[in-house]
Amino acid sequence: MNDLRKLHYIVWDLREEIHATWPTPESGTCLRYAFTEAGEAMDAWLRVERPGDVRNHLVVVTSGRVRAELADCAMMLLSALGPEWGNDWRDSDCPLSLDQICGSVGTLLFDAVESNPHEILHIVSAIARYANMDLEAELAIRLAKIRAKHVACTEAER
């Protein structure tokens, strides 16, 4: 079982720490960013799986890039929940392909007015179950880079 509560805490701990230099967008915008990150994951996947395609000939991408983009997507989905979400952390054991993850994020964005936190958690669970994914470790890497950049910005302003 993925510890979705822990993943949410990791993301929001950083968001609160560096809010002054990296403010959290409102939920709908977080979903839009999640959608772009899902698209970037698909782009990376295509570059890995179809390196002979003309559009891919100048860029070398590894499968690790797919996981990194999915981690960014998960970060934005967890951000969309807001800092106080804590009612029901059910993990979903239903695996999704990358196509399904991307489609689910798109559907979530389309239905944003009636955003369903359980669907967000379902997608984050699917991302955590993606091939060779250690979502907590991927988030830690991504968030450490963000922290370093924004803490340095804060210190430079002092």
Question: Would you state the pLDDT for residue 1?
Answer: 43
Report residue 111: phi and psi, to 5°: -95, 20
Residues 94-138: tens digit of each pLDDT: 789 999 999 999 999 888 655 688 889 999 999 999 999 999 999
Q: State how far the Cα of 130 lies from the Cα of 117, in Å rounded to an integer.
A: 20
From first to last of its 158 residues, the chain has per-residue pLDDT tens of 468 999 999 999 999 999 998 999 999 999 999 999 999 999 999 988 988 888 766 667 788 999 999 999 999 999 999 998 766 777 777 789 999 999 999 999 888 655 688 889 999 999 999 999 999 999 999 999 999 988 765 555 55
Domain count, the chain: 1
Per the structure, the complete domain to which residue 107 belongs is given by: 4-157
Angular region, 149: left φ>0, alpha ψ -120 to 50, beta rest: alpha
Judged on CB neighbours under 10 Å (0-12, 13-18, 19+), 63 is middle
Give the CA distances from residue 43 to residues 3, 48, 137, 146, in Å, rounded to whole numbers and listed in that order.
28, 9, 22, 22
Q: How many CB atoms lie within 10 A of CB 150?
A: 17
